[in-house]
Structure 1
Amino acid sequence: MASQRTDPLTLEVVELIGTVVARYHDEYEQAAAQHSLTGAQARVLGLLSLEPLPMRRIAQQLRCEPSNITGIVDRLEVRGLVERRPDAGDRRVKLAATTEEGRVTADRLREALGFAREPLAELTTAERTVLRDLLKRMLGKESAT
Structure 2
Amino acid sequence: MSPHADSDADTDADAVVAELSGLVFEVTGRLRAQFNAAAAELGLPPAQALVLTNLSGPAPMRQLADWLSCEPSNVTGIVDGLERRGLVTRQPAPGDRRVKHVVLTEAGEHKRRQLRSSANALAHTFFELPGSDRQHLRDLLARVLAGPPASTDTESG
Give the alignment's TM-score, normalised by structure 1: 0.80
Distance 1:66 1:51, change over 3 A: same
Counterpart amino acid of residue 20 in structure 1? V
Q: How does 1:1-145 map to 2 (within 5 A)?
A: 3=10, 7-48=14-55, 50-113=56-119, 114-118=121-125, 119=127, 122-124=130-132, 127=136, 128-137=138-147
Counterpart amino acid of residue 145 in structure 2? L
The runs of 4+ residues in structure 1 deviating greater than 6 Å are none
Whole-Å separation in 1 of the counterparts to 2:13 and 2:140: 25
Task: Please state how far the C-alpha of 1:120 moved relative to its aligned partner.
Answer: 7.2
* Higher CA-based Rg: 2
Count of aligned pairs: 136
Give the alignment's TM-score, normalised by structure 2: 0.75
Q: Report the RMSD for the aligned CA atoms in angstroms.
A: 2.5
Task: Please state how far the C-alpha of 1:71 moved relative to its aligned partner.
Answer: 0.5
Whole-Å separation in 2 of the counterparts to 1:90 and 1:120: 47
Whole-Å separation in 2 of the counterparts to 1:16 and 1:115: 19
Structure 2, unaligned runs of 5 or more? 1-9, 149-157
Whole-Å separation in 2 of the counterparts to 1:55 and 1:43: 13
Residue aligned with 2:30, SS: helix
Alpha-carbon displacement from aligned partner over 1:89-140 (angstroms, at most 9, x marks no partner): 22221100111111111121111123433427744486223422322428xx
More strand by share: 1
Distance 1:5 1:47, change over 3 A: farther
Task: Please state how far the C-alpha of 1:88 moved relative to its aligned partner.
Answer: 1.5
